[in-house]
């Protein structure tokens, strides 16, 4: 029991030392934690950002996630539609290009492998993507074409 109290005392004194040294403590360096920390720093606050893993980024990292099945291939665990970031002001407001951000825009834009060896590729070109869809369903490929003009 005394060991437990001793540990709690250590944690409490560490916590109060941290809270005195920083205006804000953020747990987790996923993209929300990173963006939050960036804005707080820009606003003049001192920030401690703690990450449990050796790699920051959370769901937005680029990692070799399947070293046995796909050695050498790196991809995001949870950011397939990452391009939505261009709809907001974060890149400009946090001057991310100045700090080394670089986007590699690929074509094909998506590769979906199946365990049986089949695969699907999505391209920038709607026509090329439809050709890929047609390998699985002519009906779906024909219905995808009108989406090209959707919202125009």
Ligand X SMILES: Cc1cc2nc3c(=O)[nH]c(=O)nc-3n(C[C@H](O)[C@H](O)[C@H](O)COP(=O)(O)OP(=O)(O)OC[C@H]3O[C@@H](n4cnc5c(N)ncnc54)[C@H](O)[C@@H]3O)c2cc1C
Using CB under 6 A, which of 22, 28, 75, 113 touches ligand X? 28
Rounded to 5°, the CA angle 114-118-119 comes to: 75
Using alpha carbons, select from 144, 129, 32, 20 the residue that is nearest to residue 88: 32
Min CB(83)–ligand X separation in Å: 9
Write the CB contacts of 14 (distance below 8 Å, at least 6 apart in sequence). none
Residue nearer to ligand X on the CB measure, 31 or 133: 31
List binders of ligand X among 46-75 (CB under 6 A). 50-53, 58-59
Site map for ligand X, 29-48, x if CB under 6 A? Answer: xxxxx---------------
Instruction: Report how far residue 44's alpha carbon sits from residue 21's, in angstroms, rounded to the nearest whole number.
Output: 14
Residue nearer to ligand X on the CB measure, 10 or 135: 10
């Amino acid at each position: 029991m005394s060991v437990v109290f001793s540990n709690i005392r250590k944690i409490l004194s560490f916590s109060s030392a941290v809270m005195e040294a920083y205006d804000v403590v953020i747990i987790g360096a996923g993209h929300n934690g990173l963006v939050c920390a960036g804005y707080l720093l820009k606003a003049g606050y001192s920030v401690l950002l703690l990450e449990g893993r050796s790699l920051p980024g959370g769901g937005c990292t680029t990692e070799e996630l399947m070293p046995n099945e796909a050695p050498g291939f790196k991809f995001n665990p949870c950011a397939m539609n990452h391009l939505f970031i261009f709809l907001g002001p974060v890149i400009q407001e946090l001057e991310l290009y100045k700090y080394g951000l670089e986007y590699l825009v690929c074509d094909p834009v998506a590769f979906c492998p199946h365990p049986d060896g089949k695969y699907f590729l999505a391209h920038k070109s709607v026509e090329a993507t439809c050709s890929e869809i047609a390998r699985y369903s002519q009906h779906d490929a024909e219905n995808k074409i009108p989406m090209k003009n959707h919202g125009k």
